[in-house]
Amino acid sequence: MVRIKRGTLSLKKRRSLLKKTKGYRWGRSTKERQAREALLHAGNHAFAHRRKKKGDFRRLWNIRINAALRQHNMSYSAFIHTLKREKIDLDRKVLSEIAQKYPDIFNRIAESHKQ
**Residue range 17-59, pLDDT digits in tens:** 999 999 999 999 999 999 999 999 999 999 999 999 999 999 9
Residue 62 lies in a domain: yes
pLDDT at 5: 85
Q: How far is CA 39 from CA 26, 53, 59, in A?
A: 14, 20, 30
Evaluate whether residue 41 is within a structural domain: yes
In a domain, 4, yes or no: no
φ, ψ for residue 10 (rounded to 5)? -65, -40
CATH number of the domain encompassing residue 81: 1.10.1900.20
Range of the domain at 108: 9-112
106 in a structural domain: yes
d(C-alpha 32, C-alpha 40), whole Å: 12
**Residue 65 within a domain:** yes
Task: Count CA within 13 A, CB hemisphere, residue 113.
Answer: 22
d(C-alpha 18, C-alpha 28), whole Å: 9
pTM: 0.71
How far apart are alpha carbons 115 and 42 in whole angstroms? 49
Q: Which of 2-11, 16-25, 61-70 is predicted with the least confidence, judged by mean pLDDT?
A: 2-11
Give the model's confidence band at 114: pLDDT under 50 very low, under 70 low, under 90 confident, else very high: confident
- pLDDT for 115: 66
CA-based torsion, 113, 59, 96, 50: positive or negative: negative
Would residue 100 count as lying in a domain?
Answer: yes
Domain count within the chain: 1
Report yes or no on 50 lying in a domain.
yes
Is residue 3 domain-resident? no
Q: Cα 95–97–102 angle (5° rounding)?
A: 95
